[in-house]
Structure 1
Amino acid sequence: MHARAVAASTTALLGTAALLLPLSPARAAESSAPPLVIAHRGASAYAPENTLAAVDRAAELGADWVENDVQRTRDGELVVLHDDSLQRTTDAEQVFPDRAPWKVKDFTAAEIARLDAGSWFDPAYAGARVPTLEQYVRRVELHGQKLLLEIKNPQLYPGIEGEIIKVLGNEGWLDRGHVGQRLVVQSFSADSVRTVHDLRPAVKTGFLGTPPVSDLPAYAAFTDQINPSYGSLSSGYVAAVHAFKGPHGKPLEVCTWTVNDAAAARRVAGYGVDGIITNTPDVVRDAVGG
């Protein structure tokens, strides 16, 4: 973790209080609503992850939110891809056999644009491409969807936070409507999340992970969401997170990942989570009524 240190006695008291505090009337009313359903890398159970086809499939299934991953090419283009290597989800190994280990940062945007990012998933998606961030947000905008954008491996790409903010601004995603209701930027790196908050305080942010309750006051200074793996969750932890207010003066939210079956979806919804990130948005929606 990269959260700033907090005095042990203070955080211990805060952590204990957070576990015991009742929900405010506003939070109690919010918790009665079903959680948001967020299509992980698009509807990635049904179309190749992080492609425009996955965004389209999510829209067809009625998913208002999609999640994606952003990395940077050798020549500075931002592309939407989960792994820092092209090997798993493209035919880079066949097209560029002498370029192992096929790291995204070692290829130009033009080279990546040549790759097939769909055949590995299903021959029906042959010819799908790795989208640029511009292409991706334009497709999300076309469907009127909302975006949970993950900065992937920021330690590999110094300055990527500012570059993402620039693209979002150029594409019209930093106006009041988008920033207020349609955009969250998240990362496993607390430093990266803090950088986004410092660069553009209006943008809603999320930290991926399950920090100790004693550390939550430090995280609440720069992030609006704590987004843990569903296997690490409990109702007590969700209540503890909700007891703190984030940088925009609202209770911290919890969006959990990656939940793909109805039973797990109902379980975490019962914990009071605000969002469920899933490869199967239709299954989760039907389970929780989102």
Structure 2
Amino acid sequence: MRIRPVTTVATGALMGLSALVLLPADAQAASHGHPPVVVGHRGAAAYAPENTLASIDTARRLGITWVENDVQRTKDGQLVVLHDTSLARTTNVRKLFPRRSPWNVGTFTLREIEKLDAGSWFGAKFKGVRVPTLRKYLNEVDHNRQRLLMELKNPELYPGIERQALQELRHDGWLDRRHIKHRLIVQSFNADSLKKVHQLNPALTTGFLGSPPVADLPKYAKFCDQINPPHTAVTHQYVHAVHALRGPHRYRLDLFAWTVDDRPSTLKYADLGVDGIISNKPDVVRDALDDGDD
């Protein structure tokens, strides 16, 4: 997937005008030299409770088009958006279910999870915010005319989650040509999980979370369009090694770095040639990139 960013996003009715324009393969060379794509980490996690509808709505108000989330599965087989294996850090589960330690997502039903307050830990004004189902989350992203970098979190804990997630995406209209080409990337730390996603739907753009050794990158290029390392692993040499390869769709591999939250780091990694920056403060990253263009 080739993505060319435009760093200013209008609000209101103009949110339908993309902040990112996808380029065809024969225009790849023209995309070089443009600022990285800005992705809101778990929505806008510095300003609202992560992975909630409030967080992606905050990202929208900031003018951020791409948002990232984490998908897991409940005891009764429902897909929900939450980062940690345990519900303890970001909900009041300890208070409501004190004897259910370690409060893992996969040991609670959806009905139980829907009772939890997933906002008060972040601030009083978010009291009553809930853990969203993937379906509600997708509907909100669509409503906001945003784009989604969707992570399958700990897929080894949830056998078959790859197929189930794709079924949910299809049900909610996210596997049509427009979404696949312009609005959706699926990523994971688990290479085997990404292989399954690629096998189930080869048209999807996929990203591996991590920094494989350079010698192993050709193996990942068989089923990944992106290598998305922590920013601490990003060097000029590593970016060059990733860009030297083509993924399953015959585009040059992209590299999205995480998690960058300040201006100096933004400019540093942009200068190193990363294609995307994932940030808890996506407005800070965007503004730094805008100023850097002056």
TM-score norm. by structure 1 comes to 0.90
- In structure 2, stretches of 5+ residues that fail to align are 1-24
Structure 2 letter corresponding to 1:231: T
* Counterpart mapping for 1:179-258 below 5 A: 179-258=180-259
CA distance in 1, matches of 2:245, 2:106: 38
* Counterpart mapping for 1:63-78 below 5 A: 63-78=64-79
Structure 2 letter corresponding to 1:34: P
Alignment coverage as a number of residue pairs:
267
Identity %, equivalent residues: 57
Structure 1 letter corresponding to 2:37: L
CA distance in 2, matches of 1:91, 1:268: 37
The secondary structure found in structure 1 opposite 2:112 is: helix
The secondary structure found in structure 2 opposite 1:215 is: helix
CA distance in 2, matches of 1:266, 1:136: 31
Indicate the residue corresponding to 2:52 in structure 1.
51
Indicate conservation of the 8 Å contact 1:235/1:272, yes or no.
yes
Indicate conservation of the 8 Å contact 1:74/1:109, yes or no.
yes
CA distance in 2, matches of 1:26, 1:268: 23
Indicate conservation of the 8 Å contact 1:31/1:274, yes or no.
no
Q: Give CA deviations for 1:76-131 in whole Å, capped at 9, x if unaligned.
A: 00000000100000000000111111010000000000000000000110000000
CA distance in 2, matches of 1:242, 1:63: 25
Deviation of 1:213 (Å):
1.2
Indicate the residue corresponding to 1:4 in structure 2.
none
Q: 1:91 to 1:247 in 2, by over 3 A?
A: same
Deviation of 1:29 (Å):
3.0
The secondary structure found in structure 1 opposite 2:69 is: strand
TM-score norm. by structure 2 comes to 0.89
CA distance in 1, matches of 2:119, 2:219: 41
Q: Give CA deviations for 1:117-172 in whole Å, capped at 9, x if unaligned.
A: 00000011000000000000100000100000000001100000000000000000
Indicate the residue corresponding to 1:161 in structure 2.
162
* Counterpart mapping for 1:141-160 below 5 A: 141-160=142-161
* Counterpart mapping for 1:19-38 below 5 A: 27-38=28-39
CA distance in 1, matches of 2:26, 2:87: 48
Q: 1:171 to 1:25 in 2, by over 3 A?
A: closer
The secondary structure found in structure 2 opposite 1:184 is: strand
- In structure 1, stretches of 5+ residues that fail to align are 1-23
Higher relative contact order (CA 8 A, sep 6+): 1
Structure 1 letter corresponding to 2:59: A
